[in-house]
Every structure is written in structure tokens, then in C-alpha cells.
Amino acid sequence: MTIELTISIPIGDADMCRSILESVQPDNLLAPKGITIDMECRNSDLNIVVRGEKIGILTFRNTVDDLLMHINTVARTLSIFLESK
């Protein structure tokens, strides 16, 4: 069975989008076997496609949860950093 999820997150700033993408990209290489994560910034939107083949739904869900948590952490950290400047 193949599972696919497409997510588009409006970031609002193209530079911020690229920074978030570059920050979480290395983690995507450590995704569980059978899961691929493709990410790109289009304008100021972070577009994500997560695909799973021959994996359990809970593994897929947990991977997406982890990815979104990392994106949120990076975005919040960058926002705090930029506000302090």
C-alpha cells in the first residue's frame, strides 16, 4: 500500500522559507525505510510531499508529526532571532 500526503505551509517570506527548508532537510535523509520526503519553496510557501510504501500508518503519521514539529521549532526560533535584531 502506498500513502501520500501533500502539505503546503505559507511562510510569508521567501528567505525564511529557504532557511526552514535548509534546516530540516538533513533530517529527511533519516526518514524510516519506505518513506520519502520531498520539499521545496515555491515563492514563500513550503511545499512538502511525504510518500510511504509498504509501511504502517502509524509510522507514516509519526514521521509527519516529527517533520511538522521540526518545521515549527525552526520557524519559531528564526522568528525570535529576527525579532531580536
Question: Where in the chain are the domains?
Answer: 2-84
Tell me, yes or no, if the pTM score tops 0.85: yes
CATH 3.30.310.50 is held by the domain 2-84: yes
> According to the model, what pLDDT value does residue 6 have?
98
- Residue pointed to by grid coordinates 521545496: 40
Q: What is the pLDDT of residues 15-57, one digit of tens each?
A: 999 999 999 998 888 899 999 999 999 999 999 999 999 999 9
> According to the model, what pLDDT value does residue 33 have?
94
Q: How far apart are CA 76 and CA 85, in angstroms?
A: 15
Q: Is the pLDDT of residue 81 over 90?
A: no
